[in-house]
Amino acid sequence: MLVQKVKGAVKSVLPASALALRRRFKRYARSFRDQNLPLEQVFSDIYKKNLWGGEAGEFCSGEGSSLKTNAVYCQYVTEFIARHQIKRVLDVGCGDFQVSSKIVDPGFEYVGLDVVEPLIASNQQKFGKQHISFQCLDVTVDELPQADLILIREVLQHLSNQQINTILEKIKHVPYAIITEYQPQRDHLRSVNIDKPHGMDTRIWDHSGIYLEAPPFSVPGVEIVLESAIEDYLVHPGERLVTYLLRHKSK
């Protein structure tokens, strides 16, 4: 407790430029450390230390799980599932299940996938039902189960471009994929799809984001189906969540 108070006092007297430099140094140091560590170890450490928020002992996937824009996303996905008669959904990087819990329905099977084993065990214990299950799986390495629809929400932004391309290749056997990513305000965009090691931070801090329509991904026929402005932005006003729809074959 004393340490936290001292840190708070120091932050209160430092100028904004010094705080920004300190945050940047911590991000670079963390990225340098994480780039050679296994995916499971990096993200397990994030949840164990509550680096995305929450209380000690809880699993929290960050503020993105409670955004007001989630209601629009959940409505779109729910209607899409009904319209296309989806029977099995894979949720890649399901995290704490706060968003997808608003989507699940006995009319289809939901399978949440994540690389963090204690998180998956907790989700299975709390939320598992006949039509809801969770599996520990590294989608950059392991084969994906069969499904009619894949959901990937604010997951790719934490991975390297090579890992993203691996995932995009693996999901081609699934008829539909709905992928949501956080993007900067257009005036603050310096370059799309900047590469980074896997880890806690995203490209938004480097004034970049994931754009599936652009190299090195260049996903053919990808559609933008939702664009939602973020009120509690991370870096600059005008940041947004963009949801893509990928159709791999007619159903």
User: What pLDDT shows up at residue 6?
Assistant: 42
Tally of structural domains, the chain: 2
Q: Does 70 lie in the same domain as 43?
A: no
User: What pLDDT shows up at residue 61?
Assistant: 84
Return d(Cα 165, Cα 216) in angstroms, integer.
8
Residue partners of 221: CB distance under 8 A and separation at least 6: 246, 247
Q: Does 189 lie in the same domain as 236?
A: yes
The answer to whether position 53 is within a domain reads no
Task: Find the mean pLDDT for residues 110-117.
Answer: 97
User: What pLDDT shows up at residue 96?
Assistant: 94
101 versus 61: which is more confidently predicted?
101
The answer to whether position 59 is within a domain reads no
237 versus 84: which is more confidently predicted?
84
- The residue assigned the tokens 């809880």 is 58
When the pLDDT of each residue in the chain is averaged and rounded to a whole number, the result is: 87
Q: Does 188 lie in the same domain as 74?
A: yes
pLDDT, tens only, 187-208: 999 999 999 999 998 999 999 9
The answer to whether position 56 is within a domain reads no
Return d(Cα 143, Cα 135) in angstroms, integer.
12
pTM of the model: 0.87
User: What pLDDT shows up at residue 60?
Assistant: 83
What order do you get walking across the sheet with 88-92 strand by strand? Answer: 132-136, 109-114, 88-92, 149-153, 176-183, 240-247, 223-229
The answer to whether position 217 is within a domain reads yes
Q: How confident is the model at residue 162 (pLDDT cuts 50, 70, 90)?
A: very high
Q: Check pLDDT > 50 for residue 10.
A: no
Q: Which residue type occupies 148?
A: D
Cα atoms in the Cβ-side hemisphere of radius 13 Å centred on 134: 23
User: What pLDDT shows up at residue 32?
Assistant: 59
Q: Does 116 lie in the same domain as 39?
A: no
User: What pLDDT shows up at residue 31?
Assistant: 64
Residue partners of 101: CB distance under 8 A and separation at least 6: 127
Domain of residue 27 covers 2-48
Cα atoms in the Cβ-side hemisphere of radius 13 Å centred on 79: 7
Q: Check pLDDT > 50 for residue 2.
A: no
